[in-house]
Every structure is written in C-alpha cells, then in structure tokens.
Amino acid sequence: MSKSSRKSIVASFGQLSAELENRLESDLQAAPPAPSAGNRVGAGVIGAAHRAIDDIRTERDRLKAIVESGGGAVRELDTSLIDPSPYPDRLPDDDDTSFEVFKRSIETEGQKVPVQVRKHPSSPGRYQIVYGHRRWFAAKQLGRPVRAIEVEISDLDLVLAQGIENASRQDLTWIERALFASRMDETGIKPRYIYAALCIEDAELARMRNVYRTVPADVIEAIGRAPKIGRPRWLDLAKAVAADRGALDSIRAALSRKGDGVETSDQRFQRVLNAIKPTATKGAVSTPLLDGNGTTLGALVMSSKEIRISAEGSLGIEFLKFVEAELPGLAVRFDRQREKSEP
C-alpha cells in the first residue's frame, strides 16, 4: 500500500479510543517476531496492524487539536439527511437495554465524540456514515442533530476505516464479522483488503466464505447476532445445509414459527440447527419430550452413537438445566446397576 494511500486511510479513522491502540500493541507483542517467507498473509496482517497504530495515534491527536481549538471541522447535521454505511457490520441486539443506557447518556451529557460522514456518492445533499451508527441512531431517536466530521473517502478506504474501528469493539460476534466480510466480497473488495479490515488471514476468510456462501444472508439476519454461537457451530450449520438440499426450506419454516416467550438469537440458532440436524443424521429418531401436563419441553434425538436434547421455550431451557444437573448422578446410578448385574 503506497504512502499516499495510507494518508487517505488516516483521514477516515476519526477519534478512536486508546483501548484499540493498546490492544493492537499487545497483539503485536504476542505475534511471532519473524514470520517465515511462506507466511506472507500473516506478515501483511502484522504490517497493517503496525500502520493502524501509527494512524490511530496521528488521527486521534489531530482531531483532538481541532476540537480543542474550536475549529470548523465538527458541525451539526440533520439526522434525516444521513444514510447508514453501505457496508453494515452489526445485526440487531436481542436486548436493547444497553442502547437505551447509551442513548440516555447522550441525552444527559451530550454527544462527546463526533460521527464521521462522507457525501453520498449517488444522492446529492445527503451523507453516508463512515462510522458512528449508534450515535447517529441515538440522536435520531432523540430528535436532535448529530455532531459530525465530514471526510472525503472512497469505498475501499471506508471499508478499511470501518474495519479498523471495529477491531476495538469486542462485542461484535463471529457471524457479524463474517457478514461484513461477505459484503466486502460482494462489492469486489480484494481479499488482501478484507484481511486488513478484519485483521484476519486467508484461512479465516475461507471459513467465513464457507458459511456465508452456503447460508444465505436473509437466514443469517433472521437468526441474528448469536453472541454465544462461535465459528465451529456456524460451520456445523453450513455443513448440514450443504449436505441436504431441503435444509434451507426447513430452516425458513423453523424461523417462521415463533417460540414461546422471548427468544434470543442464540436460541433461534439452536432451533434452526435442531430443525435440520436430525434429517442429516442417519438412523436418528426424534421423540417429543412432554411434561405431566402435556406441555412440550423439547425433543430427544437418538441415533446409534448419539443422544441430543433440544429445548422449546423457556420451560424447555429450564428442563435442559435440570438434565445437566442430574447427569452426574445418573452416571453413578449406571455404575451401581452394572455392579449389581455382574455375577
């Protein structure tokens, strides 16, 4: 990447926290000191992180000086004139409590950090967010203008800036990062820039592609953030979908059925996986689990080498916890029974 290109990226970073700087430095200290010649991607990622640290320091200090001097870089914009980034990187939260707390802090203390925007490339008089979506959305709900810094930035630099800013957000889930990669992929962003934006290597991008090229975006979005569902289980879902042509129909049917009570995105993922895994397991038999009143708690899926219990609704979740607590005792009872049966 040329020096002039790096400067254009610097102009897009905005006021990032010192936390990101410290995280990147820690990651670099933990990284191998001398990557082998065959590991060119790893060296590129480390180089991008080095540049990110320098760029963050420079831009943070520059913006701090502008704000403190009362410069004209920060101005107020009508939120109705601003559109989201063309590369969304976050799915809706299961619980909006944290956002409400965030919004109240802006209402009482004001917006301390400006958002970054650029002129909309195809709609004159409008803007697109580079980053700061939560601040913009909070200001929109509060009915007040949003404080913003306007930058000139290309799509590529926007993606890199957004990706590096996201590196400080530890609450982004694996599937949100994968969706961000898929949107870059769809628009023709080269893999080396996706590596830099997400601080990943080619093997991880391959795993992400395995998921988002197998499981459609509408299904992923319907499931949601799934914060407790990591890469292995998403890969498991993709594998099950690839093995069964009718799996997507089963998934969409399962998502169209609403569970009892409030359902989290983690529970939706498990319900979707349960809907297709039994059909992908040879010899599996599914039996509904009912309590004494006939209420469905979930299902028991058995094969020759596996038993799986899925939960349905909040009562089913309680039942799973009960079964988990009882398992050690069942193992002891099983051992005692074997001892009695021996001659």
Kindly report, residue by residue over 52-100, the tens digit of the pLDDT.
Answer: 445 544 544 544 444 444 444 788 999 999 998 877 767 776 667 778 8
Those residues with Cβ within 8 angstroms of residue 173's Cβ, 6 or more apart along the chain or in another chain: 91, 225, 226, 227, 229
pLDDT of residue 253: 86
- Residue 262: per-residue pLDDT: 74
How does pLDDT run across 26-63, given as a tens digit for each residue? 444 444 444 444 444 445 445 555 554 455 445 445 44
pLDDT above 70: percentage of residues in the chain:
70
Q: What is the pLDDT of residue 286?
A: 67
**Highest-confidence range of 9-23, 184-198, 276-290, by mean pLDDT?**
184-198
3-state secondary structure (DSSP) of residue 343:
coil
Side by side, which strands form the sheet with 74-77? 74-77, 146-150, 115-119, 127-131, 82-83
What pLDDT score was predicted for residue 304?
63
The whole-model pTM stands at 0.54
- pLDDT > 90 fraction of the chain, expressed in percent and rounded: 20
Q: What pLDDT, on a 0 to 100 scale, did the predictor assign at position 15?
A: 36
Q: Is 198 exposed, middle or buried (0-12, 13-18, 19+ CB in 10 A)?
A: buried
- What mean pLDDT is predicted for residues 247-276? 84
Nearest 5°: the CA angle 44, 49, 51 is: 95
